[in-house]
Structure 1
Amino acid sequence: MKFFEAVPSELFSPLASPNRILYADALDVLYAAYQENLKIREDVLYSMLRGRLEQELADATFEDEDIDEEELRDISGRARFLIRKLCSKGWFEKERGDDFEEYITIPNYSSRLLELFHQLRDDSPARGYSYVFGTFSVLKTADDSNNAYDKMTALYSAYDNTTALISLLQMVYHNVKHYFQTQIDMQDVNQVLAAHFNDFGQKVVEAYIRPLKIKDSVPKYRVPIQSILRRWEEDDALLMAMANEALRDKRGKTLEDCRADLLRKIFWIEERYDNLEKDYLEEIDTQVRRYTRAATQKIENLTNRDQSVRGNLNVLLTALSRNRRAAELVDQIQPAFQLYEQSFLSEKSLWYRKRPEKRTKTASVLIQDDQAPNTEEQVRAAQLLQSKYGRAAVNAYVQGWLGDADIRCSEELSLEEDKDYIMSLLAILGSKDAAAGYVVQELDGIFCKNGYSVPQMQIRRKEKKP
C-alpha cells in the first residue's frame, strides 16, 4: 500500500501553511483531549482550544485561508475554524451520539501521528525501559509453565522486545552522531559545557547508555535467554504444541508455517544476542568516547583562544599550578590578585621517587688471590655436574625411552616414580641444547598418569649428520 492510500492526501497541508505553528499547537491540544477522554465531545475540544491557544488565535492573521468573516471576527469563531479545518483535512471525524451531541473520533493513522508529534515536542528523556530484562522475564516465566500457549506468546513478546531494543540502540547511535554535528556550531565554552553535561549527559548517557550497562545489561541476561530458547528449539514435541497454539491464534495459515515462523524468531533472537555487544554496544561506546574527547578538546581550544581577562587569568593560573617554585611570581602578581595556595594529600604525597646519583670514576681496586684453591670444593662441584640429573644423564634417559623407535609420545613414557617425572621435565628444558641427541615438540593439552601431569609432547631422535 502506498503512503497516501493509507492517509488522506491533504493531511499535512495545515502544517505547510503560514499558520503551521498554530496548527501544530492545535494538534497537540487534540492529542491532550484524546488522552483525557474516551469520548471527545466537540464542545470539549472547542473549550480546550480557546483556553490553551487564546493568545495564538488572537495573533493569527489567517491570510489565504478559507475562513469566513464571522469566524475571523473573534477568538470563538477562529477556534471553530480550526476544528472545521482539521476535520476537513482528515485529522479526525465527527459523529452524532445517542444524546444528539457531536463527538470527535480519531482514526488509527491520526492517533499514531499525534502521539509521534507529542513525543517529538516532549524534551524529557525516556526512562524505565527494560527490553532485555523483559525478554528474560517473560521467557523464564513461560519456561517454568507447562502451557504451550504461554511459551508461544512469550516467544512473540521476546521477539518484539528484541526488535524494540535494536531500534533503541540504533536511535542512541545516531543521536550521538547528532551531538557531534551540534557541537561544531558552538563557539561558547558555557554552551559546550551545557550541551555536554545537561543535554548529552542526561538525555543520552543517563537515559539510555547507563541502563544498558547496569540494569538492562545484555551480558547479564544473554546466556539465560539463549539457554531457554535452545531448549525450546531442540524439543520437537514442544515446537509442534506451540505451532498449534499459534495456528489457533491466527498467526499463520498452516501448521508448518507457524512452526517455521517460531523457529525463525528463535534463531533471530539468538543471533541478535550473539552480536549485540560487538555490533551495537561497542560501536556506541566508541562513538561516546569520540564525542567526549571532541567535547574536551573543544573546551580547551575555546578556553585557550579566549584573550579576555578570563582567558588570560586561566593561562596564568595554569602556569602557576604547574610550577612548584612559583613563589616569586606569586609575589609579583599579589598586588593585583589576592591569590592563595591550595594543596591536597594524595597517595603519592608522602614520598618522592629516589633519583640515582651520578657515579664518579675512581681508581681501580686490584683483587689479590692469595688463597690456595680448595680442592675439596672443586671435587664437590665436579660431582654435582656429573650427578644423576646432569645433561648426560638426561640424554641417556631419553635414549632409553626411545629404544629402537625414532619417535615417542607422552602416552608411551613411563611415569612410575618421581625420577621419571623429573626427567620428563628436564628433557623438555634440555632439548634446546645443541648437544642433545633428541628433539622435543610440545603439543596442546596435558597428559596425566599415576598422578603426574606433563605437557603433551613428541620426542624424536635427532638425525645424525653423515
Structure 2
Amino acid sequence: MKFFEAVPDELFSPLASPNRALYADALDVLCMAYRQKLRLPEDELYSMLRSRLEQQLADATFEGEDIDENELRDISGRARFLIRKLCAKGWFEKERGPDFREYITVPGYASRLLELFHELRDDRPARGFSYVFGTYSALRVADETGSAYEKMAAVYTAFDNTQALIRLLRLVYHNVKHYFQMQLELHDVGEVLSSYFDDFGQKVIEAYIRPLKIKDSVPKYRVPIRTVLMRWAEDDEQLAAMARAAQQERRGGTMEDCRADILRRIFWVQECYDDLEHDYLDEIDAQVRRYTRAATQKIENLTSREQNVRGDLDAVLTALSHSRRADGLTDRLRPVFQLYEQSYLSEKSLWYRKRPGKRSRAAAVLIEENETDAASAAQAAALLHSEYGRAAVAACVQGWLGDRDTCLSTDIPLENDRDYVMSLLAVLSGGSRRAAYQVEELGGSVCENGYSIPKVQFSRKENEK
C-alpha cells in the first residue's frame, strides 16, 4: 500500500502553512484530550483549545486561510475554525451520539501520528525499557509452567522485543552522531560542558547506555535466552504443539507454515543475540568514547585559545604542571596571581624515577693493541695439538672403524678415562661439517667398566670412502 493510500492527501497541509506552530500546538491538545477520555465531546475539545491556546489564537493572522469573518472576530471563532480545519484535513472525524452531542473519533493513522508528535515534543529522557529482561522473563515462565500456546506466544514476544531492542540501539547510535554535529556549533566552554553532562549525559547515557549495561544487559541474559530457544527448536513434539496453537490463532495457513515461521523467529532471535555485542553494543561504546574524547579536546582548545584571564591562567597552570621544580616560577607569578605551592606526601614521595640525561659526543678512545704473549701463544698451541684435540679425536674414530664403514658404541673399548672422554668428544664432533664421519643416535646407553655412554652409530661420510 502506498503512503497516501493509508492517509489523506492533505493531512500534513496544516503543518506546512504559515500558522504551522499553532496547528502543531492544536494537535498536541488533541492528543492530550484523546488520552484523557474514551469518548471525547467536541465542546470539550473546543474548551481545551480556547484555554490552552488563547494567546496563540489571539496573535495568529490566518492570512490565506479559508476562515470566515465571524470566526476571525474573536478567540472562540478562531478555536472553532481550528476544529473545522483539522477535521476537514483528516486528523479526526465526528459522530453524533445517542444524546445528540458531537463526539470526536480519531482514526488509527492519526492516533499513531499524534503519539509520535507528542513524544518528539517531550524533552524528558526515556526511561523504563526492558526488552532483554522482558524476553528472558517471557521465555523462562513459558518454559517452566507454560502450555504450548504460552510458549508460542513467548516466541513471538521474544521476536517483537528483539526487533524493538535493535531499533533502540540504532536510535542510540545515530543519536550520538547527532551530538557530534551539535558540538561543532558550540563555541563556549560552558555550552560544551552543558551539552555533554546535561543533554548527552541524561538523554543518552542515563536513559539508554546505563540500562543496557546493568538492568537490561545483553551479556547477562543472552545465554538463558538462547538455551530455552534451542531446547524448544530441538523438540519436535513441542514444535508441533506450538504450530498447532499458532494455526488456531491464524498466524499461518497450515501447520507446516506455522512451524516454519516459529523456527524462523527462534533462529533469528538466537542469531541477533549472538551478534548484538559485536555489531551494536561495541560500536555504540566506541562512538561514545569518540564523542567524549572530542568534547574533552574541544574544551581544552577553547580554554587555551581564550585571550583573557582564564586563558592566561590555563597557560600558567599548564607550565606549572610540567615543571618538577616550580619554586622560582611560583615566586615570579605571586605578585600577579595569588598562587601558593602546596605539597603532599605519598607512597612515592621518597623515590624519583631516574631520568637519563642527554648524552654528548665525546672524543674517541684509542685502544692499544698489546703484543701477543709468547707463553699464551704456546699454551694455546699446546691445547690445539693435545691428545684431546680434533685431530686426535678423528684418528681415534678412524681406529674404531678400521676397514668397516660403520661401528656401534658397543664396539668402542672403555678401559680407562681417556677412552671415555674420547667417545664423548667423538659424539660431539660428529655434527661438524669438517668431520670425516657422522653420528646417528640410536637411543639408550651402553655401560662398560663403570662408564656409561649414549648408544650411537659412527659411519664414514660418502665422500670419505
Q: Give the equivalent residue in structure 1 for 2:425.
A: none
Alignment of 1:22-171 (within 5 A): 22-171=22-171
Q: Give the equivalent residue in structure 1 for 2:333.
A: 333
1:252 aligns with 2:264: no
Q: Give the equivalent residue in structure 2 for 1:185.
A: 185
Which residue identity is paired with 2:89?
K
Structure 1: segments with no counterpart, 5+ residues? 359-432, 440-460
Q: Secondary structure at the match of 2:38?
A: coil
* Shift in CA distance, 310/147, structure 1 to aligned 2, threshold 3 Å: same
Deviation at 1:205, TM superposition (A): 1.1
Deviation at 1:324, TM superposition (A): 3.3
Q: Give the equivalent residue in structure 1 for 2:237.
A: 237
Q: Give the equivalent residue in structure 2 for 1:305.
A: 305
* Shift in CA distance, 145/328, structure 1 to aligned 2, threshold 3 Å: same
1:205 aligns with 2:205: yes
Deviation at 1:331, TM superposition (A): 2.3
Deviations 1:271-312 (CA, angstroms, capped at 9, x unpaired): 101111111111111111111111111111111111122111
**How many Å separate the matches in 1 of 2:354 and 2:293?**
35
**How many Å separate the matches in 2 of 1:15 and 1:94?**
21
Deviation at 1:146, TM superposition (A): 4.5
- Mean Cα displacement is larger for which, 334-343 or 75-84? 334-343
Which residue identity is paired with 2:332?
Q
TM normalised by structure 2 equals 0.76
Deviation at 1:334, TM superposition (A): 1.9
**How many Å separate the matches in 1 of 2:66 and 2:191?**
44
Deviation at 1:183, TM superposition (A): 1.1
**How many Å separate the matches in 2 of 1:230 and 1:438?**
57
**How many Å separate the matches in 2 of 1:238 and 1:91?**
47
**How many Å separate the matches in 2 of 1:355 and 1:438?**
57
Which residue identity is paired with 1:187?
H
**How many Å separate the matches in 1 of 2:185 and 2:460?**
77
Deviation at 1:209, TM superposition (A): 1.1
Q: Check conservation: 2:330, 2:340, Cα contact below 8 A.
A: no
**How many Å separate the matches in 1 of 2:442 and 2:83?**
98
Q: Check conservation: 2:188, 2:302, Cα contact below 8 A.
A: yes
Which residue identity is paired with 1:318?
T
Q: Secondary structure at the match of 1:307?
A: coil
Q: Give the equivalent residue in structure 1 for 2:21.
A: 21
Q: Give the equivalent residue in structure 1 for 2:175.
A: 175
**How many Å separate the matches in 1 of 2:221 and 2:104?**
46
Q: Secondary structure at the match of 2:77?
A: helix
CA root-mean-square deviation: 2.5
Which residue identity is paired with 2:278?
K
**How many Å separate the matches in 1 of 2:26 and 2:327?**
67
Deviation at 1:57, TM superposition (A): 0.6
Q: Secondary structure at the match of 1:159?
A: helix
* Shift in CA distance, 174/10, structure 1 to aligned 2, threshold 3 Å: same
Q: Secondary structure at the match of 2:145?
A: coil
Which residue identity is paired with 1:7?
V
- Mean Cα displacement is larger for which, 286-295 or 230-239? 286-295
Q: Give the equivalent residue in structure 1 for 2:261.
A: 261
Which residue identity is paired with 2:312?
N
Deviations 1:76-135 (CA, angstroms, capped at 9, x unpaired): 111111011000000000111111111101100000000000111111111111111111
**How many Å separate the matches in 2 of 1:108 and 1:436?**
92
Q: Check conservation: 2:330, 2:341, Cα contact below 8 A.
A: no
* Shift in CA distance, 315/262, structure 1 to aligned 2, threshold 3 Å: same
Q: Secondary structure at the match of 2:215?
A: coil
1:323 aligns with 2:323: yes
**How many Å separate the matches in 2 of 1:464 and 1:196?**
83
Which residue identity is paired with 1:167?
R
Deviations 1:166-220 (CA, angstroms, capped at 9, x unpaired): 0001111111111111111211111111111111111111111111111111111
* Shift in CA distance, 79/353, structure 1 to aligned 2, threshold 3 Å: same
**How many Å separate the matches in 2 of 1:309 and 1:225?**
59
**How many Å separate the matches in 1 of 2:165 and 2:67?**
47
* Shift in CA distance, 28/342, structure 1 to aligned 2, threshold 3 Å: farther
Deviation at 1:438, TM superposition (A): 8.3
**How many Å separate the matches in 2 of 1:294 and 1:40?**
51
* Shift in CA distance, 194/347, structure 1 to aligned 2, threshold 3 Å: farther
Q: Give the equivalent residue in structure 1 for 2:390.
A: none
Which residue identity is paired with 1:275?
D
1:214 aligns with 2:214: yes
**How many Å separate the matches in 2 of 1:343 and 1:27?**
64
Deviations 1:298-352 (CA, angstroms, capped at 9, x unpaired): 1111111111221112111221233232222222222222223344555534543
**How many Å separate the matches in 2 of 1:356 and 1:10?**
78
Percent of aligned pairs with the same amino acid: 71
Which residue identity is paired with 1:129?
F
Which residue identity is paired with 1:46?
Y
Q: Secondary structure at the match of 1:144?
A: helix
Which residue identity is paired with 1:17?
S
* Shift in CA distance, 7/345, structure 1 to aligned 2, threshold 3 Å: farther
**How many Å separate the matches in 2 of 1:217 and 1:128?**
13
**How many Å separate the matches in 1 of 2:291 and 2:105?**
46
Structure 2: segments with no counterpart, 5+ residues? 359-430, 433-438, 444-456
Count of paired positions: 371
**How many Å separate the matches in 2 of 1:334 and 1:464?**
91
Deviation at 1:148, TM superposition (A): 0.4
Deviation at 1:67, TM superposition (A): 0.5
Q: Give the equivalent residue in structure 1 for 2:272.
A: 272
Larger Cα-atom Rg: 2
